[in-house]
Amino acid sequence: MYIDSIMHTDLITVSPETTLVQARELIEEKQIDHLLVINGKKKLVGIVSDRDLKQYWASPATSLSTHELNYLLQKVLVSMIMVKTVVTVPTSTTIERAAYIMQQNRISALPVMEDGDLAGIVTSTDVMAVLLQAIGISDESVRLSIYVKDSIGKLAEVAEALRAQDINIQSLFCWPESRHPGITQMVLRVAGQDGDKATATLNARGFKVKKHYEKDITPYLPKE
């Protein structure tokens, strides 16, 4: 899935000349966390987050009167506080790549570009919602975890064992166990009513199914 299918296209933008007070009022009114800053040529020149606004809002000396504080804040422009080096992605970016980019850059929003123009914005909340949906997490499903040697055919073996028992795999993902080189953890979800049957089936095939948190996973590791 690509981010153009989940990005927000009803964009709330401001000019660099927007004041800090105006920006804060807009964020509160629209109930958003980011404002995209567009210049007179309709080009993206910066981004301002709700966190940025709160940081600068609290910066003036508290000894100032309310009138004096408001006067000073009216003089602060978005151009003075916005992030000018904006990390952007094209519409052809995948959901997982967008999540990786946000994690690596420690940001919570990505403006999306198409042919050099601003096309939308995607947030970490949007990406997380899609990834959770892909994982298949729900109250109606059961999470099963098994550890296998990182070798060809293991995924097919697990899938075939469950298929033979008419058990549908709702979702499946894998990741290497850093503390145990050569071992991969498979996490799969099946319908709630199939949980016990799937566990028994996989155990019978030599896999040791872990259904709950265990501090010591050694008993579940495949034998040499």
> Domain end: 131, 146, 164, which one?
131
Name the residue range of residue 52's domain. Answer: 3-131
pTM for the structure as a whole? 0.75
- How far is it, in rounded angstroms, from Cα 133 to Cα 16? 37
CATH number at residue 48: 3.10.580.10
Quick one: pLDDT at residue 62? Answer: 54
Q: How confident is the model at residue 132 (pLDDT cuts 50, 70, 90)?
A: confident
Q: What's the pLDDT tens digit per position in 42-94?
A: 899 999 999 888 887 755 445 555 666 667 777 789 999 999 999 999 999 99
Q: What's the pLDDT tens digit per position in 104-113?
A: 999 999 999 9
> Domain end: 94, 116, 131, which one?
131
Same domain for 65 and 115, yes or no, is yes
Percent of the chain at pLDDT > 90 equals 71
Number of domains in the chain: 2
Q: What's the pLDDT tens digit per position in 135-158?
A: 777 668 899 999 999 999 999 999
- How far is it, in rounded angstroms, from Cα 25 to Cα 28? 5
What is the end-to-end Cα distance of the chain in Å, rounded?
38
